[in-house]
Amino acid sequence: MKPWAERPLEIRNLFNPAFCGLVLHRALKGFEEVDSRGMPFSLSLLVLPLSLHRDTRETLALNPKTHLLTTIEANPQILVDFDRRVRDLLPFVHEAFGLLAQQGCLSVSPSGELRTVKRKLRSQVTGTTESVSCQRIARNIGREFARIGDRATVYTTLGIRP
């Protein structure tokens, strides 16, 4: 990972650890709405590639009540280069989790699930239209991951190996 000052302005703005951490936190909260045990770390790695990619986010937002797996099946274009997006965003996911952990915004259960810490981040979703969209989709993704309940199913559907 390049030092902060050496990163291009676009990268600093879009993948800044605070914003990425907020998006991840929203997904963890959504997951906890369905399954209070918390989100497995392996699923958390998929949140940013799904919620920050505009075409994917907009496709998922068109049918918010449709199950994630059904939406992906009906829109296979979501999977184009998805594995590359996951790999490319991995350093930013780790950086965001580092910031969340440093600020005491998440905890890790003994079995490795990630959970939010109450009252560490405001629950109201605010920001630009695009940042609000990212946060809302992340929450929906978290809830869908919890409803699916099987990491292997999610990974297989998305065409990647854990």
| pLDDT of amino acid 63 | 80
Asked if the structure places residue 2 within a domain, the reply is no
Asked if the structure places residue 114 within a domain, the reply is yes
Asked if the structure places residue 162 within a domain, the reply is no
Asked if the structure places residue 3 within a domain, the reply is no
Asked if the structure places residue 143 within a domain, the reply is yes
Could you tell me if 46 and 158 are in contact, meaning their C-beta atoms sit under 8 angstroms apart? yes
| pLDDT of amino acid 11 | 80
Q: Which residues of the chain have pLDDT under 70?
A: 1, 120-121, 162
| pLDDT of amino acid 162 | 64
Number of folded domains that form the chain: 1
Asked if the structure places residue 148 within a domain, the reply is yes
State pTM to two decimals.
Answer: 0.91
Asked if the structure places residue 51 within a domain, the reply is yes
Angle at 143 between CA 142 and CA 149, to 5 degrees: 90
- Distance of alpha carbon 13 from its chain centroid, rounded? 17
Q: What is the extent of the structural domain holding 99?
A: 8-157
Alpha helices in 35-67 (DSSP H): 41-44, 47-51, 54-62
